[in-house]
Copies of this chain bind each other. A is one copy, B any other.
């Protein structure tokens, strides 16, 4: 995801403006990881990103605006879905991607910070909801394909199946503290694929 921004040869296309955005978003990400939303100070981020303070204030306006842009960038940069040829396989790939993101030391802390920021700020909440809508729209076609292959009945709510994979993983991550690993990912994917197969998500 955002590591691409700093890896040689993978800098976002688009010249100076894009380079400034990449540097500022990276600094915002670092600040969120280190101190949570309270650490997102525009002047300090401009200093870290080696970008003029005026540029940062003019372009992003507020910490909320900057975090919203970071979430938009995270949605743009996020990984394309995997196609394995079966619903169980596709949902397993999705579940494993979610688990590896949430258990990554940087990404996990970043997601906790933005999710918590969204609980008290409406603009951040809207940006977060757009991020998840993008991710769900990316993966939903795997359910439609499964319906075409006869693995789940017509009328299956594809988005709801994808949410059903993410939900138990986020519940463990944020709420219950139960283990979060590849075994759990596979179990959640299998349970969801089976439930979808029996028509549990037909709406």
Footprint of B on A, CB under 8 Å? Answer: 36, 38, 112-113, 115-116, 119-120, 125-126, 128-129, 132-133, 136, 163-164, 166-168, 170-171, 174-178, 191, 194-195, 198, 200-201
Q: Which residues of B contact A116 (CB under 8 A)?
A: 115-116, 119
Instruction: Using CB atoms, name the residue of chain B closest to A136.
Output: B176
Number of copies of chain A assembled together: 2
A116 CB to closest chain B CB (Å) equals: 4
Q: For the complex, what is the distance from the CA of A129 to the CA of B171, rounded to whole Å?
A: 11
A97 CB to closest chain B CB (Å) equals: 15
Ordered by A's residue number, 10 sampled pairs between the chains whose C-beta atoms are within 8 Å are: A116-B119, A125-B177, A163-B176, A164-B168, A166-B175, A167-B168, A167-B171, A170-B174, A171-B171, A198-B198
